[in-house]
Amino acid sequence: MSSAIDGRDDVVLPLRLVEPITGEAEFGSPSVHRELTAIPTGRSSVATLVRQGLVGHLIVLLGTVAAGLVVGLTPGTLVLVTLGVVVWLGFGLAALPAYERAGSLRPAKRLLAVLALGALTTLVVSDVVSAELRATVVVLSVTAVLIVASALVHRAVMRRVPTLLVGPADAVNRLSARWEDREDLVVVGRCTWDSNLPLGSATVNSVVRDVPKLLRTVRGARVVITADQALGDASLRHLAWGLQRAEVECLVLTDMNDYVEFVRPTKVGDQLALALDPPNSHLVGQATKAFFDRSVALMAVVLGAPLMALIALAIRLDSPGPVIYRQERTGKDGVPFTIFKFRTMVLDADQRVEELRELNDGAGPLFKMTQDPRVTRIGRLLRQTSLDELPQLFNVLLGDMALVGPRPALESETSQYSQWVWRRLHVKPGMTGLWQVSGRSTLSWDESIRLDLMYVNNWNLRMDFSILVKTIGVVLNRKGAW
């Protein structure tokens, strides 16, 4: 019933899935097929269609036809609109990675963009646009709404997918701990290659040969295999075939976590490859971000001018010295720039760093103190509320910084960067970022760097908007601010 993988005695897989395809034990033999199909996964064909998003698309098509009938489209126009929606959804699915097809909002976003252009055209030339064309715009608007609703419902229904982890003990335990609080999956079992490991909450629950037993226990579970060289191509192929016969979804993880949003499967010759498409390599994306940043910064400067004037007056009355503190920081690609902040410390703060070095509470090369004696009374309030960073809006307008990005680093910090950490300088530093909304000063050095690199490798405007919204809450509760 079981066999070793690639000559390893400690690697055992169930149901002869890794048996070589020979005359004595062909994988396609009736006996093996009976064993594979005997696993009751609890997943019907309808459930599979729901999981793949095809039921949602069918509802979208039916809704499109119903809307066309309600607004009175002619049969010919209705057929053309329906066929157009079919082609649109089909190309949308083909262009998306398999893991996000069912719950993706991209087809709806693209359709809404086309509709916006169509609606604008309709308004401009309303006198010559036929009633049939206006009705078509209405029907397609309903279609876009249905696509959004279908994706959102799919995300809600398919949350907390039962997941069975398979792989080396350290890998499955690490992933199980990392995914413990996730809302989109729940780890229901952990299986390892090594049958000699002790069982219990601190390690894996079972060995690989128990996969069928666990699948019988948990309905609708999927199998996730961690990246491991021990599992050969033939063994993985046979395992995937067996799980496919049992209608169990099989996923294989990669180590390319930083590029999860921009990985596209492709082939090089006869080999599977992952095409990496980093977001910061596109001129259109860079231009869009620059326009968004400067537009928002200009609006914030205009609206926040009275508040900044009051802060400047308070600083002037609280302690002697300039209102604005200027410091050289490292910008994109290592180019230095002058950062602007409201002064929150006494005048000789920079000269006193060395005498306070042993009291440093910061992580890595960072120098920070929870109770810094150099901070003024007004300065402490400004730091806790992050209002001291408002002048950085002018850095954004000048193009030295972005609204969202990695934390602007000192030259003394970047001189200690490894080549890996240096990648955080491939984009402009930001007024806020993942580090700001994930703990701020309470983060370890390694964690803050990991978050910065995650942002650099996965940037998109939606992420920027999400971080900006979260920043408001972080600033209001003053969490992690020193």
Please report the pLDDT score of residue 421 as a whole number: 82
Predicted confidence at residue 304, as pLDDT, reads 93
pLDDT score recorded for residue 339:
95
pLDDT score, position 229: 57
Rounded to a whole number of angstroms, the distance between the first and last alpha carbons of the chain is 61
Contact call for residues 235 and 13 (beta carbons, < 8 A): yes
Provide the angle, in degrees to the nearest 10, between the axes of the packed helices 233-245 and 30-37: 70
Q: Domain range spanning residue 186?
A: 159-253
104 shares a domain with 64: yes
Question: Would you list the DSSP string of 136-175?
Answer: HHHHHHHHHHHHHHHHHHHHHHT-SEEEEEES-HHHHHHH
- Asked if residue 440 and residue 336 are part of one domain, the reply reads yes
Q: Residue 11 falls within a domain, yes or no?
A: no
User: Are 339 and 414 part of one and the same domain?
Assistant: yes
Give the per-residue pLDDT at 31: 42
164 shares a domain with 117: no
Q: What is the mean pLDDT of residues 445-452?
A: 84
Among 126, 142, 157, the domain-final residue is 157
173 is a domain residue = yes
Residues 6+ apart with CB under 8 A from 467: 404, 432, 433, 434, 436, 437
Q: Which one of 188-192, 205-209, 304-308, 320-324 scores highest in mean pLDDT?
A: 304-308
Question: Where among 213, 232, 253 does a domain terminate?
Answer: 253
239 and 300 within one domain: no
Beta strand ranges found along 368-436 (DSSP E): 402-404, 430-432
Q: Kindly state whether residues 355 and 439 are assigned to the same domain.
A: yes
pLDDT of 20 over the 50 cut: no
pLDDT for the residue 294 = 94
Q: Which regions of 173-304 does DSSP assign to beta strands (E)?
A: 185-192, 206-207, 222-225, 250-252, 263-268, 271-276
236 and 108 within one domain: no
- 322-380 pLDDT, tens digit per residue, is 999 999 999 998 899 999 999 988 876 666 666 666 655 555 555 566 667 778 888 88
Calculate the average pLDDT of the chain: 73
Distance, CA of 363 to CA of 318 (rounded, Å): 30
Record the pTM: 0.55
- Within 13 Å, how many C-alpha atoms sit on residue 271's CB side? 4
Q: Scanning the structure block, which residue is given the tokens 């030259």? A: 411
Using DSSP's 3-state secondary structure scheme, residue 336 falls into: strand
Average pLDDT over residues 63-70: 87
Instruction: Looking at mean pLDDT, say which of 14-23, 202-211, 307-316, 362-371 comes out highest.
Output: 307-316
User: Which residue has tokens 């055209």?
Assistant: 121
Is residue 273, in this structure, part of any structural domain at all? no
Residue 81 pLDDT greater than 80, yes or no? yes
In a domain, 26, yes or no: no
Predicted confidence at residue 405, as pLDDT, reads: 93
Residue 65 lies in a domain: yes
Q: Supply the pLDDT for residue 474.
A: 84
In 312-390, beta strands by DSSP E: 324-330, 336-342
Per-residue confidence (pLDDT) for residue 331, from 0 to 100: 92
Q: Are residues 124 and 173 in the same domain?
A: no
Q: Does 151 share its domain with 167? A: no
Give the CATH number of the domain where residue 188 resides: 3.40.50
Statement to judge: residues 366 and 437 lie in one domain: yes
pLDDT number for residue 32: 38
pLDDT value, residue 26 = 35
> How many percent of the chain have pLDDT more than 70?
60
Separation between Cα atoms, residue 13 and residue 228, nearest integer Å: 14
Tell me the average pLDDT across 139-154: 77
pLDDT at residue 115, as a whole number:
56
Rounded distance between C-alpha atoms, residue 131 and residue 133, angstroms: 5
Could you say which of 231, 253, 275 is where a domain stops?
Answer: 253
pLDDT of residue 128: 47
Q: Is residue 34 part of a domain?
A: no
Say whether both 139 and 192 belong to one domain: no
- In order of 255, 279, 314, 399, the CA distances from 456 in angstroms are 17, 8, 37, 18
pLDDT at 293: 94
Domain count, the chain: 3
Comparing 260 with 138, the larger pLDDT belongs to 138
Among the listed ranges 31-45, 102-116, 303-317, 366-380, which one has the minimum average pLDDT value?
31-45
pLDDT for 138 beyond 90: no
Q: Does residue 482 belong to any structural domain of this protein?
A: no
Residues 132 and 194 in one domain: no
pLDDT digits (tens, 9 = 90+) for 102-113: 445 555 555 555
Establish if 8 belongs to a structural domain. Answer: no
- Comparing 132 with 430, the larger pLDDT belongs to 430
